[in-house]
Amino acid sequence: MEVRLQCVNEECGMVFPVEESFAQRQIPCPNCGGECSAIPTTPDTAFTHINETLDETKGTAKRYRSYGQVGKGGMGTVVRCEDTTIGRYVAMKVVRSDKITEEKDRVRFLEEAQITGQLEHPNIVPIHELGQDEEGNLYFTMKLVKGRSLDELIWENKTGQRANSLTQFLNMFLKICDAIAFAHAKGVIHRDLKPSNIMVGDFGEVLVMDWGLAKITGGKGSQIQTKQPTQVNVGTIEKSALPDEAEEEEGVIGIDSVRSVRSQSRVIDTKFGEIQGTPVYMAPEQALGTTNLVDHRSDIYSLGAILYEILTFKRPIEGSELKIVLQQVADGDFPPPDERTPLRKIPAELSKICMKTMAREQDRRYQTVRELEREINYHVESAAMIQRQSSGDDEEQSKTSMGAASWAMLAVLTILLVVVSAGLVGMKQANTRAKNLAKDADAKAISLQHEKSSLQSQLNVAQTNLAGAAQELARMSILAEAEGRLADAIMHADAAVKIDASSAWGHYAWATIAVRRNQISNAQKYLNKALAADPEHSESLKLKADLTVEK
């Protein structure tokens, strides 16, 4: 039996659950160290109501025909079934009544169904029905996803069985972020995000599964306002302590917020010091059991751990002893992705995004999932822009070569036509005309030579000005890239090439952008164009030598 204690300090007011046997002791507040008192309990009407409703549905599982087990957990199993009334296949999660030893086990199962069912989003597995069979076993049915888990997909890529691109993985990751951002907006945190809880369908579907450890925070995660943190020692590590209950701007559960039997009762409040989640993917505050610190930013950390594995094909922390793993998580003891697997050429900015997402201190992480999404989207779109530019240059060069060949052919045909015409009018007339034309041509040639000299002088001046402008734009592009202003860098590099495609500088600027993003093949293309324009261009020669050494 659990009771709830509340800090009597009005400035703190923290509420937390403890076992009834501890309630008689003088337990200090984990947040401020002040005195606490027990909160009177009230009848659990919400739990009573759901049990009465489920009793009325007893036996409804007869409509499902089982086709074997597809998964198994500590309390129940997941079975592939056919809904005979609709004619579709579903996944049924069943918990055996003999496995429910305490009331809280039943509530946890009910809450998973209720939370997941109310989170209606394209990237969250949909729940169809909640009920109990004729033997009293609880069950709920959900969409049967045909595909593989993200964990399996990463393993298949790691072992060479598949070859998904980084862009494909990042697009999957963005769909996961969409689902979690939606859940946070509804006031729900997942608390057990990991690759094995993400399903990737055969047709591109990405679904977040297993909301069994999810918790309703009582407000929209993206709008959570927290009190100024104080310091509290937990184990061997000093951490920032925040209030147990996150406060929404209006301080109440909104009409769009998710509700469950637990949010309306206190049967299974997570106890202080209790660890919830999977160690290698959980945030430090989860690993330490400081449940009063766990909020939507704990999910953001777990998203970072998933991103880490997508980038490196390795878990951020690996180990066989639970105590050591938990301590490494709490210490933030792991290398950045680009250092963990340097041969994978992970873009530096993605590595930085990942490490910020997995920051040890909550305030140093992205504060909302949307912030993280914007950073990933920016990288994906920038990479696509560079790729399009590289492809566009190749296509333009091909068109130019074809155009030159066409003009050369036209010139040959014109000459042949003149020769044939001359033969038809006779040699004598041709000779006379040729002499007259020669005289006129000599006079025109002298005049054209003067005009050509004048135009050449003007052209030389113009080319000098264009080359200078292209060099200046390239310099601005390189500077913008170094300062992290990718959009400006791309704009200046593109302008440099368009102003003077014969200059090496514009192509060199594009090569610099490609190198910073580990797009080495594209960088080599740009350097080849730069050196074709100016074989002695020192910057391009140096960059090409550096790339050769890295190989």
Q: Which residues participate in catalysis according to the annotation?
A: 192
Helix (H, G, I), strand (E, B) or coil at 417: helix
Q: What Rg do the C-alpha atoms of the chain give, in angstroms?
A: 35
Q: Are 315 and 151 in contact (CB under 8 A)?
A: no
Q: Per the structure block, which two tokens stand in for 125?
A: 């597995």
Alpha-carbon distance of 14 to 34, in angstroms, equals 10
Question: What angle (nearest 5°) sits at the alpha carbon of residue 278, between those of residues 286 and 342?
Answer: 100
Q: Which residues contact 507 (CB under 8 A, 6 or more apart)?
A: 497, 526, 527, 529, 530, 533, 540
Alpha-carbon distance of 215 to 548, in angstroms, equals 53
Residue whose pair of structure tokens reads 């949307």 in the numeric block: 370
How many CB atoms are located within 10 Å of the residue 422 CB?
Answer: 15
Taking CB atoms within 8 Å and a gap of at least 24, the contacts of 353-356 are 353/307, 353/379, 354/304, 354/307, 354/308, 354/311, 355/304, 356/304
Alpha-carbon distance of 180 to 393, in angstroms, equals 40
Strand ranges in 229-308 using DSSP code E only, listed in sequence order = 230-234, 237-241
Q: Are 116 and 93 in contact (CB under 8 A)?
A: no
The candidate with the shortest Cα–Cα distance to 7, out of 200, 227, 217, 279, is 227
DSSP H or E run through 83: strand 76-83
Strand ranges in 182-234 using DSSP code E only, listed in sequence order = 188-189, 198-201, 206-208, 215-216, 230-234
For 165-174, b/e burial (b = at least 16 CB within 10 A) is ebeebbbbbb
DSSP lists the bridge partners of residue 5 as: 16, 38
Q: Per the structure block, which two tokens stand in for 440?
A: 């006129």
Q: Are 97 and 54 in contact (CB under 8 A)?
A: no
**Which phi-psi region, left, alpha or beta, contains residue 59 (left: φ > 0; alpha: ψ -120 to 50)?**
left
Residue whose pair of structure tokens reads 């977040």 in the numeric block: 208
